[in-house]
Amino acid sequence: MYDVVIIGAGVVGTGIARELARYKLNIAVLEAGSDVAVGSSGANSGIVHAGYDCKPGTLMARLNVQGNAMFDEISRELDVPFKRNGSLVLAFNEDDISQLELLMTQGIRNGVPDLQILSGEEVLEMEPNVSSDVIAALWAPTGGITCPYGLAIAMAENAADNGVEFYFEHRVEYIEKKENGVFRIVTSRRDFAARYIVNAAGINGDVISKMAGDDSFSIHPRKGEYCLYDRKWGNTVKRTIFQPPSKMGKGVLVTPTVDGNLLVGPSAVDTDKRDDDYTSAEGLDFVYNIALKSVPSLSGDGVITVFAGLRAIADGGDFIIRPSYKVEGFIHAAGICSPGLTAAPAIAREVAAILARLSGELEPNKAFNPLRKGIKRFRDMDWEARAQLVEEDPRYGRIVCRCETVTEGEIVEALKSKLPVNAIDAIKRRTRAGMGRCQGGFCTPRIMEIVERELGIPMECITKKGGSSRIVLGKIKDFLKEGEGIE
């Protein structure tokens, strides 16, 4: 019996798990996917927004600004890359300028610090690759960039270190509230019992809510497609470059990523499919063409991968973070679209406060350790630190992923981490092996050898991302059948 079951291990669910681990609670996180952050949290812009785009008075506005302010501390505690690179919203005409003014007013009301409207010249001075058609920009120095799945992984690992249990590939299929007030949660693997449920199910937040008997809102998926550029393009801009927002969102941005690539996107297309993470030629063309308006020198080449993610838009558009009005003990953290990543640490606090209100005072967990150490990053070390590391453990002297300079030592660290890691994508997201320009062409077979050796998983059983995503389907000679020819 758990005090709290959190459904969903995205950036919201893992953040809540970590926050609740500060209290003496028995907590489980149930995740349908094979790893943390496999939904929206794994496919977004990675921006820590300043908070000027949200309508004043909304939950979004408050939690965005609060969350933004928490990032320095949380990224330090959790050893997650984070950089306040600042963001610029470009204006190309008078209409745009009035938009900037509106954003500035909103931002000030939301409590965003240090906002400033810059002239076109000032913008070009800061960002020479931005279109010379720019006539002004809103400058928000508190804007930042982080690694969205890296943050979720870190929060989950820290939660796990502090006693939270994680169950992957446990898809919630049925929820009932028994007469004694305890929830019975049926998953694709086993049943769970819990006093409280936190709904952090992302794109399926309404589905989970309905399962529990609360149909008070629905979620509408909105797809966003992205192009990720080679590191060579990583310095094209230093700040995150926006255009004035539209009804559909913050528009197409051009930004460096915290890992040194350049990211362009997203498109914004409403879809009715909750698993529609396919990219499309139209979407990618759209993203590129709009981005050209911000950065005209952007090449069509240099893209190393494309991806799409879904944003969970709730009715009304605002976050839904409150107890269910229909089902006692059921707490929503739903409809978390942009700026959900930024808000995640603040959402976690909000949920903890709600739980405290519902259950009475929460008893602090004195043993809680807020610190988590990430996997060593050979590529980011100086010469002396590298030398010492290889001296201590020669596995750090064997480069497995040559594009991103990832060592065998790092891969092994990932495999031995607190959460179960055995799929190629899970290793990739923790070490960056396979994230570079050859996209795993060289290192995937080598990583498979290490997985086989370290975890004893036969090569044929190693997956890309769990489920049926096996990399190879058999040994050589296996498909040669006796008595059959080749057609």
Partner 1 sequence: MQLICILCPRGCHIEINQGEDGKWEVKGYACKRGRDYAIQEATCPLRVLTTSIWVEGGNHRLVSAKTDRSIPKDKIIESLKQTKGLTVKAPIDIGDVLIENIAGTGANLIATRRVDIKQV
Partner 2 sequence: MNRKTEVAIIGGGPAGLAAALSCYKHGIRDILILERDEYLGGILQQCIHNGFGLHWFGQELTGPEYAQRFIDEVNKVGIPYLLNTMVLEITKDKTVYAVNPRHGLIEIEAKAVILAMGCRERTRGALKIPGGRPAGVYTAGMAQRLINIEGYMPGREVVILGSGDIGLIMARRLTWEGARVKMVCEIMPYSTGLIRNVRQCLDDYGIPLKFRHTVIRIHGRERLEGVTIARVDDRRQPIEGTEEYVSCDTLLLSVGLIPENELSEGAGVMLDPLTGGPIVDEFRQTSVPGIFSCGNVLHVHDLVDYVSEEAEIAGEGVYRYINGRNPSADDYLLVMPGNGIRYVVPQRIYGDSDVEFFFRPNAIYDKGVVELTDGDRVFASKKLLRMVPGQMERLRLKREALAGEGKIKSLQLRWRGPDKEDDGACS
Catalytic residues: 49
CB-CB contact of 51 with 112 (8 Å): yes
For 447, the token pair is 């990583």
The three-class DSSP label of residue 198 is strand
Overall size of the chain counted in residues: 487
| Interface positions, 194-253, toward partner 2 (CB under 8 A) | 227-228
Chosen from partner 2, partner 1, none, partner binding at 485 (C-beta under 5 to 8 Å by type):
partner 1
How buried is 467 (Cβ within 10 angstroms: 0-12 exposed, 13-18 middle, 19+ buried)?
A: exposed
For residue 296, say if its preceding peptide bond is cis, omega within 30 degrees of 0: no
Burial pattern 224-248, b for ≥16 Cβ within 10 A else e, equals bbbbbbbbebbebbbbbbbbbeeee
Chosen from partner 2, partner 1, none, partner binding at 482 (C-beta under 5 to 8 Å by type):
partner 1
| Interface positions, 441-480, toward partner 1 (CB under 8 A) | 476-477, 480
Least distance (Å) between residue 445 CB and partner 1? 11
| Selected range binding partner 2 among 105-113, 143-151, 243-251, 301-309, rule: CB under 8 A | 301-309
Does residue number 280 form part of the binding site for partner 2 (CB under 8 A)? yes
Among 24, 238, 293, 395, binds partner 2 (CB under 8 A): 395
Does residue number 448 form part of the binding site for partner 2 (CB under 8 A)? yes
Least distance (Å) between residue 269 CB and partner 2? 13
CB-CB contact of 257 with 305 (8 Å): no
Chosen from partner 1, partner 2, none, partner binding at 365 (C-beta under 5 to 8 Å by type):
none
Does residue number 475 form part of the binding site for partner 2 (CB under 8 A)? yes
Nearest to 168 by CA among 277, 347, 43, 28: 28
Among 181, 300, 360, 485, binds partner 1 (CB under 8 A): 485
Q: How many residues bind partner 1 (CB under 8 A)?
A: 6
Least distance (Å) between residue 306 CB and partner 2? 5
Cα–Cα dist 180/173, whole Å: 21
Query: CB neighbours (10 Å) of residue 38?
Result: 24
Least distance (Å) between residue 210 CB and partner 2? 23
Does residue number 391 form part of the binding site for partner 2 (CB under 8 A)? yes
For 163, the token pair is 């006693």
Does residue number 486 form part of the binding site for partner 1 (CB under 8 A)? yes
Chosen from partner 1, partner 2, none, partner binding at 471 (C-beta under 5 to 8 Å by type):
partner 2
Cα–Cα dist 50/47, whole Å: 9
Does residue number 190 form part of the binding site for partner 1 (CB under 8 A)? no
Cα–Cα dist 394/150, whole Å: 26
User: Rounded to the nearest 5°, which phi and psi values hold at 412?
Assistant: -65, -40
Chain centroid to CA 247: 23
Tell me which residues touch partner 2 (CB under 8 A): 227-228, 275, 277-281, 283-284, 301, 303-307, 383, 386-387, 390-391, 394-395, 397-399, 402, 405, 408, 437-442, 444-445, 448-449, 459-460, 463-481, 484, 486-487
Tell me which residues touch partner 1 (CB under 8 A): 476-477, 480, 482, 485-486
